[in-house]
Amino acid sequence: MPKGTIIKALSGYYYVKSEGEVYQCRGRGNFRKRKLTPLVGDDVEFESSNKTDGYVLEILERKNELIRPPIANVDQALLIFSAQEPAFNTLLLDRFLVHIEANDILPVICLSKLDLLDQPEELKDDLNVYREIGYEVIETSSTEEIGLEDVRTVFEDKVTVVAGQSGVGKSTLLNALNPELNLETNQISNHLGRGKHTTRHVELIPFGEGLVADTPGFSSLDFVDMEPEDLTIYFPEMRDRRPDCKFRGCTHTSEPKCAVKAALADGEIAQFRYEHYEKFLQEINEQKQRRY
């Protein structure tokens, strides 16, 4: 049985790449009964008598998957956030980071549109917070070709999902790195204050020595099926201090002798990150109450 990787899903068809050839396939009929959906990035077994009439027969084990964008077996996520238009948003970035951390995917933060800042040092403090936590942060401008080589090296030998709020310049950045891609871009809508959704489907594209997925833009993430006690794990600066809390299962909100609250008081944890943690914790608890 031949094996391959789904590199594109569009209009009910799955495009499977195997040994340098691409086969157009439909999903096996029992996937729906088994509540399975093939995703871009899936390694699969398939059969095909020709390049346009194949069937995906089995989805091989995934190492991870994302719901939005729908993609599997990702090595890392390049999270692109613009300095301006739309303005840099740490709350939304932290939502992305929690979502990516929860799926065991390596996040890389990329600041785009650096040229739109009046003062280059404007976001320095916020970006340094993420660097101190241990995240890689790359500052770029497609217009002025700043930081492009740093981004290019990120893609080597990796499957990378490129994600971020609509209008931050994902397609523009990818085009600047590889003009042959010729991905569709749109200007920011001044009326809406955000970009139009120019990417309609998920597709894995050869990019240097790796593969990159340009994905539909989106601006919110729900904490689906996340347990309140697990949220700390996805904030590295809290995860590292959790063993030092007096109480097992400490939520770092009102418990005494909490190592996280002590670090916050000492300025070792950024106030805005802790506030985002509290907000996400409240959302998770509220979602859990609605489920029951």
What are the tens digits of pLDDT across the range 66-95?
877 788 999 999 999 999 999 999 999 999
Q: How far apart are CA 9 and CA 228, in angstroms?
A: 34
CATH topology of domain 3-61: OB fold (Dihydrolipoamide Acetyltransferase, E2P) (2.40.50)
Q: Give 3-state DSSP helix, strand, coil % of the chain, rounded to 5.
A: 30, 25, 45
Q: Which two tokens stand for residue 37?
A: 């959906």
Q: Express each pLDDT in 214-224 by its tens digit.
A: 655 544 477 87
CATH topology of domain 228-291: Ribonucleotide Reductase Protein R1; domain 1 (1.10.40)
Q: How confident is the model at residue 107 (pLDDT cuts 50, 70, 90)?
A: very high
Domain boundaries defined on the chain:
3-61, 66-214, 228-291
Single-letter code of the amino acid located at 48: S
The reported pLDDT for the residue numbered 166 is 76
**pTM for this prediction:** 0.85
Do 66-214 and 3-61 fall under one CATH topology?
A: no
Q: Express each pLDDT in 150-205 by its tens digit.
A: 999 999 999 998 888 778 888 888 888 888 776 665 543 333 333 444 446 788 98
User: Region 105-114: what's the mean pLDDT?
Assistant: 96
- Its CATH class, for the domain covering 66-214, is alpha beta
Q: How far apart are CA 188 and CA 203, in angstroms?
A: 23
Q: Give 17's strand partners.
A: 5, 22
